[in-house]
Amino acid sequence: MVKNIICVLLVLALFFVACNELEYSPNQAFDNDTPRDLNNKNIKRLLETEGDDTIRFVLSGDSQREYSNSKALVSAVNKMKGIDFLFLAGDISDFGLVQEMEWIDDIFSRLQVPYIGVIGNHDMVANGERAYRRMFGDFNFSFIYKGVKFVCHNTNSREKAFDGTIPNLPWLKEQMSYEEGVNAYVTVAHVPPGNEDFDNSVKDEYIDVLNSSPNTLAALYAHTHREDLFYPGAGKIPYIVTDAIEHRQFVLVEISNGKLTFETIRY
Amino acid sequence: MENLPLKRSGIKIWVIVALFLTSPAKLSAQFFDALVPGEVVVQHAGSIGFFSVGAGYRVFKNKRGNVDMNYGFVPASKGGPLHILSAKFAYRPFEIRIKDWATIYPANPGAFVSYHFGKEFDFYWDKSQYEKGYYWWSSAIRPHLSLSNEVKLHGKKIVRGEKIKSITLYSEFNTNELYLVSFFQNHGDLSMRDVFKLGIGVRVGF
């Protein structure tokens, strides 16, 4: 009898050891060990690190369902010198599931530099908005690093059926206006203007807002899985779109002496 | 031509109605008897709720098949609120009897479907918002594969009750098609342990 009970318990124990993750739903907004507020933590870490006068960062995006290629990206960036941080410009997840965001964070937290997430359209499906907000933070946010203000914002208009709230133009206007201690402005979002998923009824106004800051250096995007570069409006301001992680490509951006340069890196 | 599908479905409905009208009363009584579940199920986790409760039915002649219909809930404090319906099927190919007091079913493969209620979960993606095929999966319907193991304690020996026939403890691992796609696309970088999730439960047989 005792032998039998032990036998039963052993079988049960084996199954518990094999897998310790109790999941309540794939759509749960978080589980017991989901990290919180990653963007604020990583920005804090970035501002605490001392660096040189040059700002050097990676623009990458669309890590959705690309764990192997994300690992390759992380090891490629870790081998480069002088990188300050990395932007993961949207579609962090493919299905808006917190589990995907955690898998991606497991990989990107192995970067030697902080990474900063920006929300993509895939991160907004299902319960993704709640999962993303708790794990990464606000959809629209900004930070100032070495005199450059980085304005990260939500351009996934289709996810709200082009209801006029995305992009948030009043917020952007305020962010792009003159601010003491800021020498230059760089914007980061997922869907580029002109793309079919962008609310193109406000495209001209949007571009005008971005271009009319005291000194906009560039506007950065992902989403299209194809590298692209255009100079909309009257200005000479580059709108840079990075290729996706699935194609093992990112854009390396450098800001030095007030000038912004960029190049495509393959790995 | 355009009316044809309508006509056909019309005929089908009449056939079903005719069957109900003409079948003997005994047959429909059997039908309703079959709706009374043999088991009450309570499950913790397993991707269908923080807790879910349901009705279990033994199916097939050899009673090795099982169908559970569960309602699950995830409270806000656990990543919800979420309301989930699930329909589960499992089969017990192996059984190990321990004298007359217990039976172990060591590995029961199965499949189930879960449905999440709420406007953020789409059964069909809104056609005015998305082109056909923009997102290929449904965010409300989730197909799962499962593998469970059970220890069934026979009532007479264990609880000495008259009404309770058995108490079964089980653990169940499941994955879904979205995790599986991620797993196969990233061979070696996600493990089985990453994509299989655990649930535990009790079923009480009457």
pLDDT of A156: 97
Q: Which of B189, B192, B202 to mutate to test the interface with A (most CBs of A within 10 A)?
A: B189
Q: Is residue B16 part of a domain?
A: no
Q: Is residue A158 part of a domain?
A: yes
pLDDT of A16: 59
What CATH number did the domain enclosing B150 receive? Answer: 2.40.160
Angle, alpha carbons A157-A158-A163 (nearest 5°): 65
Please give the backbone phi and psi of residue A27, each rounded to the nearest 5 degrees, phi first. Answer: -95, 5
| Stretch A102-119: mean pLDDT | 97
Q: State the nearest Cα–Cα gap between B54 and chain A, in angstroms.
A: 16
- Cα separation, A115 vs B98, whole angstroms: 56
Which residue, A160, A58, A32, is CA-closest to B77? A32
DSSP class per residue in A72-112: HHHHHHHHSSS--EEEEES---SS--HHHHHHHHHHHTTSS
Q: What is the ipTM of this complex?
A: 0.89
Q: Which of A5, A16, A24 to mutate to test the interface with B (most CBs of B within 10 A)?
A: A24
Q: pLDDT averaged over chain B? A: 85
Q: Is residue A87 part of a domain?
A: yes
pLDDT of A176: 97
pLDDT of B3: 41
| Stretch B188-203: mean pLDDT | 93
| pLDDT per residue as tens digits for the range B112-168 | 999 999 989 988 888 888 888 889 899 999 999 999 999 999 877 666 667 888 999
| Cross-chain Cβ contact A67/B189 below 8 Å | yes
Residues in A closer than 8 angstroms to B102, CB to CB, are 4, 8
How would residue A196 be classed by pLDDT, with cut points 50, 70 and 90?
very high
At B179, list the tokens.
Answer: 């995790």
pLDDT of A78: 97
Residues 79-108 of B with CB under 8 A from A: 79-80, 82, 84, 98-99, 102, 104, 106
How would residue A71 be classed by pLDDT, with cut points 50, 70 and 90?
very high
Q: Is residue B4 part of a domain?
A: no
How would residue A7 be classed by pLDDT, with cut points 50, 70 and 90?
low
pLDDT of B4: 42
| Cross-chain Cβ contact B84/A127 below 8 Å | no
How would residue A13 be classed by pLDDT, with cut points 50, 70 and 90?
low
Is some CB atom of chain A closer than 8 A to the CB atom of B167? no
Q: Is residue B201 part of a domain?
A: yes
* Domain hosting residue A81, numbered range: 29-266
Give yes or no for residue B2 having a pLDDT over 80.
Answer: no
Q: Which of A27, A28, A69, A121 to mutate to test the interface with B (most CBs of B within 10 A)?
A: A27
Q: Is residue A165 part of a domain?
A: yes
What CATH number did the domain enclosing A247 receive? Answer: 3.60.21.10
- Cα separation, B27 vs B103, whole angstroms: 33
Which residue, A5, A185, A80, is CA-closest to B104? A5
Q: Is residue B34 part of a domain?
A: no
Q: pLDDT averaged over chain A? A: 93
Give yes or no for residue A153 having a pLDDT over 80.
Answer: yes
Domain count, chain B: 1
pLDDT of A12: 61
* Domain hosting residue B94, numbered range: 39-205
| Cross-chain Cβ contact B79/A12 below 8 Å | no
Q: Is residue A17 part of a domain?
A: no
Domain count, chain A: 1
Measured over the CA atoms of residue A90, residue A95, residue A98 and residue A103, the dihedral's sign is: negative
Q: Is residue A53 part of a domain?
A: yes
